[in-house]
């Protein structure tokens, strides 16, 4: 059990009364005068995400808490409560519907997350009393997946290199009896993954391709591909320090697909799952790949390196080629692929690209439904011209500074067959500032949306 929950009703649990903007006035009228004047004096208006401590109604009674929420779909107000309230046990007053119970637990847990690898939090998290009701295990699986993604992203590159990422993947796969194999170092050349090798070879920490499969062979095949650049220096086209600062998170896509895979397996969706993660460090050495090198690809065509800092699309290209070779029913990739996607959308939402309107619509609907926003951008084929190369079939970066997220997506599209529904998520994977339920640091973006979309279709 997560340490922000308890299932044991201690006698001294502080009760939380939930109010909405519209229910607040009537609720207030039903209260004793002493409480009414307390609330009035505090200026509390029942706004979503705001908590207020209430004194005991009578001598020897207990203190309680008021919490404003938007409605029963609200997740984040519960996240705010979990960070605002003091240590102790809290229980929700009255009969709440299942949706409220689930969203309360979800928000509470997401807001309670701390990265504790190097430092203990300075208070015990407040614990929410949750019923052992049938549907809460699904919330716990969801929370554990998001925690897993956040932990992977938050871990510094010194302890989350390609090897450690592969170990984490192998460990996770083992817990679900999934197969996990790894193509390591120069074997990438033998097995025809030239771009993964080229990008990763400069690092003393060898590049590798992590390959997980799980599920019944006859079930619909869904393949997840995640960018696992464990640190992105930019390579010989070295990033300035401001641009390099956050690049431990450049394996955020890998974190997303591993966490999503864990969630799929924990909930036993009826799919044959495959997860492919090219895990590399984009480093600098005498052996580094260079600007204007021409790389072979697993797909057979040639790529001119316009910029060694456009490395994500290279490693993903080879992984996508392998994904496509099985002719799966769906491919989804997650990647911290471009700064341009952040210029377009900011850090809060994943940029979504898809070659399939139905798939995109399903993802958008799920995203809306579970407050995990994505925004679709176009695979605008005319911009393919920005990737033209005089010496190779395609350039990985090109000279144009226009439409960076779109051209990156178009580069990936070259490796995917038009017949396979494909979604590409260009994510930030990081909360630069804290928001309710979303502490600063690594973050899963689009993960809950994609899971909801899949669960709707494949939950037996």
The reply to whether 251 sits near ligand BES by the rule CB under 6 A is no
The reply to whether 237 sits near Zn ion by the rule CB under 5 A is no
The reply to whether 404 sits near ligand BES by the rule CB under 6 A is yes
Phi, then psi, of 167 in degrees rounded to 5: -65, -40
The reply to whether 443 sits near ligand BES by the rule CB under 6 A is no
Select 79 or 429, whichever has its Cβ closest to Zn ion.
Answer: 429
Count of CB atoms within 10 A of residue 127's CB?
Answer: 25
Binding part of the chain for ligand BES, among 69-77, 137-145, 154-162, 305-313 by CB under 6 A, reads 305-313
The option from ligand BES, Zn ion, Mn ion, none interacting with 404 (CB < 5 to 8 A, set by class) reads: ligand BES
Spatial CB neighbours of 124, under 8 Å, sequence gap ≥ 6: 3, 87
Q: Are 381 and 410 in contact (CB under 8 A)?
A: yes
The reply to whether 309 sits near Mn ion by the rule CB under 5 A is yes
* Dihedral sign of CA atoms 32, 105, 374, 73 in order: negative
- Give me the active site residues, please: 239, 313
Site track for ligand BES across 329-358, x = CB under 6 A: -------xxxxx-x----------------
Candidates 141, 307, 356, 417; binder of ligand BES (CB under 6 A) is 307
- Burial letters for 34-57: b for 16+ Cβ neighbours within 10 Å, e otherwise? ebeebbeeeebebebbbbbebeee
Smallest distance from the beta carbon of 412 to Zn ion, in angstroms? 13
Select 340 or 359, whichever has its Cβ closest to ligand BES.
Answer: 340
Binding part of the chain for ligand BES, among 33-41, 95-103, 197-205, 304-312 by CB under 6 A, reads 304-312
Smallest distance from the beta carbon of 342 to ligand BES, in angstroms? 6
Smallest distance from the beta carbon of 178 to ligand BES, in angstroms? 28
Distance CA 195, CA 296 (A): 7
5-6 sheet: strands from edge to edge: 5-6, 127-129, 89-92, 14-19, 64-68, 51-54
Segment 241-280, which members bind Zn ion (CB under 5 A)?
250
By CB under 6 A, the count of residues binding ligand BES is 16
Distance CA 69, CA 98 (A): 15
The reply to whether 31 sits near ligand BES by the rule CB under 6 A is no
- The DSSP result for 386-441, as a single string, is GG--SSSSEESS-S--S-HHHHHHHHHHTTS-TTS-EEEEE---EESS-BTTB-SE
The reply to whether 397 sits near ligand BES by the rule CB under 6 A is yes
The reply to whether 310 sits near Zn ion by the rule CB under 5 A is no
Select 68 or 161, whichever has its Cβ closest to Zn ion.
Answer: 161
With the CA atoms of 369, 372, 377 and 379 taken in that order, what torsion angle do they form, in degrees rounded to the nearest 10?
-90
The option from Mn ion, ligand BES, Zn ion, none interacting with 164 (CB < 5 to 8 A, set by class) reads: none
Smallest distance from the beta carbon of 11 to Mn ion, in angstroms? 56
- Burial letters for 317-353: b for 16+ Cβ neighbours within 10 Å, e otherwise? bbbbbbbbeeebebbbbbbbbbebbbebbeeebbbbb
Binding part of the chain for Mn ion, among 18-26, 305-313, 342-350, 424-432 by CB under 5 A, reads 305-313
With the CA atoms of 239, 445, 315 and 344 taken in that order, what torsion angle do they form, in degrees rounded to the nearest 10?
-50
Q: Are 127 and 89 in contact (CB under 8 A)?
A: yes
Helix (H) or strand (E) holding 323: helix 312-325
The option from Mn ion, Zn ion, ligand BES, none interacting with 397 (CB < 5 to 8 A, set by class) reads: ligand BES
Smallest distance from the beta carbon of 170 to ligand BES, in angstroms? 25
The option from Zn ion, ligand BES, Mn ion, none interacting with 338 (CB < 5 to 8 A, set by class) reads: ligand BES
Place of tokens 């095949």: 221
Spatial CB neighbours of 50, under 8 Å, sequence gap ≥ 6: 44, 67, 68, 80
Smallest distance from the beta carbon of 292 to ligand BES, in angstroms? 14
Segment 218-247, which members bind ligand BES (CB under 6 A)?
232
Distance CA 398, CA 42 (A): 59
The reply to whether 232 sits near Mn ion by the rule CB under 5 A is yes
Smallest distance from the beta carbon of 337 to Zn ion, in angstroms? 7
Which residues would be at the binding site for Zn ion (CB under 5 A)? 229, 232, 250, 312
* Residues making contact with ligand BES (CB under 6 A): 232, 250, 307, 309-312, 336-340, 342, 397, 404, 428
Q: Which residues bind Mn ion (CB under 5 A)?
A: 232, 309, 311
């Amino acid at each position: 059990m997560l340490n922000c929950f308890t299932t044991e009703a201690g006698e001294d649990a502080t009760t939380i009364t939930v109010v909405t903007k519209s229910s607040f006035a009537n609720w207030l009228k039903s209260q004793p005068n002493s409480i009414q004047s307390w609330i009035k004096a505090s200026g509390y208006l029942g706004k979503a995400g705001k908590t207020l401590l209430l004194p005991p109604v009578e001598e020897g009674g207990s203190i309680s808490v008021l919490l404003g929420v938007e409605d029963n779909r609200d997740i984040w107000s519960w996240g705010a409560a979990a960070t605002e309230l003091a240590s102790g046990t809290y229980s929700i007053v009255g009969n709440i519907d299942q949706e409220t119970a689930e969203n309360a637990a979800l928000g509470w847990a997401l807001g309670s997350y701390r990265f504790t690898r190097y430092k203990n939090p300075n208070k015990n998290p407040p614990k929410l009393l949750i019923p052992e009701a049938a549907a809460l295990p699904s919330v716990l699986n969801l929370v554990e997946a998001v925690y897993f993604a956040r932990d992977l992203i938050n871990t510094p590159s010194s302890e989350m290199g390609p090897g450690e990422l592969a170990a984490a993947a192998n460990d996770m796969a083992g817990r679900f009896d999934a197969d996990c194999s790894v193509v390591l170092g120069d074997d990438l050349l033998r097995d025809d993954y030239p771009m993964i090798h080229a990008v990763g070879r400069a690092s003393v920490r060898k590049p590798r391709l992590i390959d997980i499969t799980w599920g019944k062979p006859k079930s619909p095949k869904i393949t997840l591909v995640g960018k696992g650049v464990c640190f992105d220096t930019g390579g010989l086209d070295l990033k300035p320090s401001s641009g390099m600062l956050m690049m431990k998170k450049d394996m955020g896509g890998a974190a997303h697909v591993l966490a999503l895979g864990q969630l799929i397996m924990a909930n036993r969706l009826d799919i044959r799952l495959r997860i492919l993660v090219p895990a590399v460090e984009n480093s600098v050495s005498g052996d580094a790949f260079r600007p204007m090198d021409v790389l072979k690809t697993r797909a057979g065509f040639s790529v001119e390196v316009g910029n060694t800092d456009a490395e994500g699309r290279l490693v993903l290209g080879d992984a996508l080629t392998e994904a496509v070779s099985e002719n799966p029913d769906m491919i989804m990739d997650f990647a911290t692929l471009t700064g341009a996607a952040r210029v377009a959308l900011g850090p809060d939402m994943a940029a979504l690209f898809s070659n399939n309107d139905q798939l995109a619509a399903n993802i958008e609907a799920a995203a809306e439904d579970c407050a995990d926003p994505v925004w679709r951008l176009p695979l605008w084929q005319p911009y393919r011209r920005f990737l033209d190369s005089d010496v190779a079939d395609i350039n990985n970066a090109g000279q144009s500074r226009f439409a960076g997220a779109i051209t990156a997506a178009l580069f990936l599209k070259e490796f995917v067959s038009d017949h396979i529904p494909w979604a590409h998520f260009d994510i930030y994977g990081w909360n630069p500032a804290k928001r309710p339920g979303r502490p600063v640091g690594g973050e899963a973006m689009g993960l809950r949306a994609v899971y909801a979309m899949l669960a709707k279709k494949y939950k037996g």
